Structure formats: structure tokens, C-alpha cells
Structure 1
Amino acid sequence: MKWVFVLLFLACAAYVHFRGRVRHRLGRQLLDHSTFMAPVNVLMYLCSRVPTRPFIVPEQHFPELEPLRAHWREIRDEALRLRELQQIKAAEGYNDVGFNSFFRRGWKRFYLKWYDEAHPSAAELCPLTTRLLREVPSVKAAMFAELPHGGELRPHRDPYAGSLRLHLGLATPNDDACFIEVDGGRYSWRDGEWTMFDETYIHAARNDSGRNRIILFCDVERPLRWGWARAFNRFVARNLIVAGASPNQEGDRTGAINHLFKYFYALRLKSKALKERSESAYYAIKYGVVAGVVALIVWW
């Protein structure tokens, strides 16, 4: 029975790696968080009621989201007011594990909600947007996301397939030089227009337009065919994804994972220092740890 689980895990990991046209190098994929979530994600794909392709047309499958697009100008006004107050910003400490690497390349955010009620800061500063989001329960997480000129997000895939990503253009360059690529397909943001994609495909973004870009960024619960699958998805969200909550201001919730992140990041800094001194030692330890974990699983 143990070998059945091992082979099932390997099959799911291989499917995640070869899914789509764009792939990580095998060495990177072995250590990517999506590999460890592969069996759960394959289950989400099998149970999905919407197409499992890179881009999805939101109005065809999510009519409940239409009020967000209908009120995009009012939402934009709240986002621009936040920007004037310098509240759309990078995390002020090591308390946003999910997006920590993005901050180094110019990306900024202001959380509106994260698998829970609105942050107190969001309810105070963005009353209209948080009210609209409250009326659309399928939106599990939302934020304003800013990408300035010269900013970029390197190719990556998100770890969990229980949601789909919605981008609604608010204050964008309206320029093809500001774009996102999902599995090799490109979309350029426009004011008042939206796109939806499966964030477990490899995606990347750049802004070379000379102007700033602000969007409404939402994670929308993936519709699933069966009640047991929906219950499982919500269990994972309540007990794992919610632990990634990150604050805008003091008084906002910080999830358990982000409370621990500063300690893991200190270890990460030590590993980067080792890599600078000796790449061979760094990779020997890195792949040795992976081999050790695999051996424990196989022989347990």
C-alpha cells in the first residue's frame, strides 16, 4: 500500500510538471511548493466544473462577479486614494511569505480580505470595495496590487488549485508593454476590463510602459462538481491557506505561517550566504535534504 501512495504522488507530480506549454527546469520543479501539493491539485483539476485551461472567461462561469466590474470606477477611486496615502506598499517586515519575493522587484499590495472577513484597515479605508466583496462570497481573497514601471514578477506558479485568479484593471497604462503571461499566453491590462486565469500554470508579469499599474486582484473559489470536493477545498482553505494572512497595518490579522516566516527567512539568508561562498556545498546540502526526505517517505 505504501508503494501505491508513492507511485500516485510521483504520477501527480509529473502531471503538474508537464501540464501546460511552459515548465520550470526539473531541478527547480523538484523543490517547488506545487510539487508537494500535486496530489491535492490533481484532485481539484479532476473535480473542476470550469475548464482547466490557462485563461477562463469570467462572465461565462462567474456571473456573480459582475458587480465588481460594474463598479470598477468607484473601486478605482478607493485604490487611488490609498495610493495617495501610501498604503499600497510592500510588507514592512517578514510577514508575507506568499508574496515576499515579489517586493524586491517593485510589486506592492493592500489586502482587502484573506479567506476571512475584511481586514479592519480595509473596512475603514475602502468601505465600498469591502462591501461589494462581502456580497460575493466566492471571492475568498482580494487586494489592490500595484506594479510600477520597471517592475516584474518572475515566472512562478501558485501552490494550490482550489481557486482561480481574477484581475480587474483599475488604473493601468492601457499599454501592451504592461502585461501578464500565463503558460505563454499574453494579456495586457486595460481600465475597466478583466481577465481570469489558473494561477497554477506558470505565469509572469512585466511593466515597461513608463506608467504605474493598479488592479483589483481576487482569488475566486474554483467551482467543483461534487459536495465532498467543495467541502475538502474549504477545509484546506480554512486550515492552511488562511494561515497566510498578512497585515496592512497594526490590528490586522497575521496568520500562523507569517508569524513563523521571519525565523525561516533567517535560515534562508544563511543558505544564500553559503551559496555565495560555495555553490557546490549549497547544492549538495539542498539536494541531500530532498533525498533524505524521499528516503524517509519510501522506507517509513
Structure 2
Amino acid sequence: MSAGPEPAWATDGIAPMERPGWASRLFMRVVALAESLNRRQAILGNRRIFDTTDFPWAAELERDWRSVRAELDVVMARKRELPNVQDISVDAASINDDDRWKVFVFTAYGVRSPRNCARCPETWRLVQRIPGLQTAMFSVFEPGKHTPPHRGPYNGVLRLHLGLVVPEPRERSAIRIDQALQHWEEGRTLIFDDAYEHEAWNHTAQSRVVLFVDFVKPLRFPARALNALLLRLAVFTPFLREGEANLRRWEERFYR
């Protein structure tokens, strides 16, 4: 486990909404309880970066990464038509307000794109084998992209990046997770906890692309049960409902 002080998690220090309703207050309390339980009952500890050997299925992704890359190459032929991340997920506007972070979404917290999955069947086959899959998409950082420091909204998931296109010089594209600086490698996975502060950048002259996955954090009972409930409820939040509508509108344009 990494040494150092406990992080400031996403819900810590957030100012309450002005005169929130009882339902919002209750939800915030449940989330705070869940995050506290998750920290105490994380099977692999509260690491910033995880050893991929802790997740045997990650080896299959690395072994078959060229199949994923081949499907990505077909998608990238129409890169200009891909949506910006905030065009799909409106809450991403807090960290992205330009057209240099594009996505190709397979699934996101219960919202699935059957057309995108059919376009990349091998990629979809592989990600479905990830236990507790929540999100899977191609994430494209255009040259010059730099996301500001931020934290994920909830510590009940872990994040995986599988390097698919990592331009040279490799040292000029990176992600900082807390105090750890990591560089992507083609065909290699990086697994980290996005509830720690992180930022990412691509200061090369070409696009950087990863397979971006969120999956359920391994937890003991009862944290595991509460976490599962909250993740199932996520699909009913306004952000997810609006994101689904945005995805369907984009699909109609892209596949017409």
C-alpha cells in the first residue's frame, strides 16, 4: 500500500446545495457513509495505483490489445465526428470545455450503446469479462490537451487505462495520480483509484488514445452490498438520464 496521508475524497469539503431537499440530504449522507465504509473495507487497500497482477483478467486485455487497436483504427478514421466528453456527460464540463477530449462510449453505468458495441465486437467481448464493469469507452486526448486536477465523484470504483495509441515522445503524455507520475504504454494497463486527485495531459503532436474502464472496487461486506446498491441507482440520476439522451442523439447522426 502506498504511504502518505489519507486523500481528500470527492465528497469531502463540498459545499451543500442552497436549502437542499430532504432527499438530497439523505442521498449525500448515504454516499458519505458508503465512502467511509469503502475506505475501511477495501480488500486491496486504499492504494493510489494498483498492481495489475491483482486483477488476473487484465492480462487478457494486454494479450489481445492489438485486436482492440485494430477496431480503434476503424473508429479513428471518423475521429472528427466523435463527441466531446462533455457532449455526452454534461458533468464533464467542469473539467473539459474544448474539443480536444473525444470519446467513443460502449457502456456507462447502465447506459449502453449497442451500435458502438457492434462496431467493435472484439473490444466489447473483452470488456464484458471485466468483473463489475461500469464504464468502457475509447478516450482520445488530442494534441495539447491537459485536464485540470480533479477527483472522481465516488470511491466505489477503480479505473483502468489500456494504452492503445501512445505518441512519441512518450514522456510528454502522462497522468499524475496524487504524487505519482505515470506514462502510458501501448498494450499495457494502468489501474488506479480516481478518488485521488489526478490530472492528465498530452503535450505531443499526435492523438493519445486509451481504453478507459471503470469497474467495481473489491470490497468486503457490508460495504460491497451498499456500493452495489448505489451503483445500480446511478442510472436514475439526472446526469445519467441526460447523458443517455445525448448519446442517442449522437448515435442517430453517426450511424445514419
- What is the TM-score of this pair, normalised by structure 2? 0.78
- Give the Å deviation of 1:234: 1.0
**Separation in 2, partners of 1:156, 1:187:** 16
Letter of the structure 2 residue corresponding to residue 100 of structure 1: A
**Separation in 2, partners of 1:97, 1:216:** 21
- Give the Å deviation of 1:98: 3.5
Matched, 1:196 2:191: yes
Matched-pair contact (CA < 8 Å) for 2:147–2:199: yes
**Separation in 1, partners of 2:236, 2:218:** 19
Number of residue pairs aligned between Structure 1 and Structure 2: 227
**Separation in 2, partners of 1:242, 1:176:** 40
Percentage identity across paired residues of the two chains: 28
Matched-pair contact (CA < 8 Å) for 1:88–1:145: no
| 4+ runs deviating over 4 angstroms | none
Query: Residue 196 of structure 2: SS of its match in structure 1?
Result: coil
Matched, 1:62 2:46: no
- Give the Å deviation of 1:23: 9.3
Where relative contact order (Cα < 8 A, 6+ residues apart) is larger, the structure is 2
Letter of the structure 1 residue corresponding to residue 183 of structure 2: S
Matches within 5 A, 1:45-124: 45-59=39-53, 61-86=54-79, 87-90=81-84, 93=87, 95-105=88-98, 106-116=100-110, 118-124=112-118
Matched-pair contact (CA < 8 Å) for 1:115–1:242: no
Of 191, 215, 218 in structure 1, the residue corresponding to residue 213 of structure 2 is 218
For structure 2, list consecutive stretches of 5 or more residues without a partner in the other structure. Answer: 18-27, 252-256
User: Residues 19 and 242 of structure 1: is their aligned pair in 2 closer, same or farther, counting only changes over 3 Å?
Assistant: farther
Matched-pair contact (CA < 8 Å) for 1:107–1:152: no
Matched-pair contact (CA < 8 Å) for 2:34–2:227: no
1:164 is aligned to 158
- Give the Å deviation of 1:126: 1.2
The one-character-per-residue Cα deviations of 1:208-243 (angstroms, maximum 9, x if unpaired) are 1222100001001111122x3222111100112564
**Separation in 2, partners of 1:187, 1:91:** 22
More helix by share: 1
- What is the TM-score of this pair, normalised by structure 1? 0.68
Matched-pair contact (CA < 8 Å) for 2:86–2:92: no
Query: Residue 105 of structure 2: SS of its match in structure 1?
Result: strand
Of 92, 96, 119 in structure 2, the residue corresponding to residue 125 of structure 1 is 119
**Separation in 1, partners of 2:132, 2:176:** 25
- Give the Å deviation of 1:64: 2.2
2:15 is aligned to 31
1:19 is aligned to 6
Matches within 5 A, 1:146-185: 146-174=140-168, 175-185=170-180
The one-character-per-residue Cα deviations of 1:97-146 (angstroms, maximum 9, x if unpaired) are 34223442421111111133741122221111112122223222111101
For structure 1, list consecutive stretches of 5 or more residues without a partner in the other structure. Answer: 1-17, 253-300
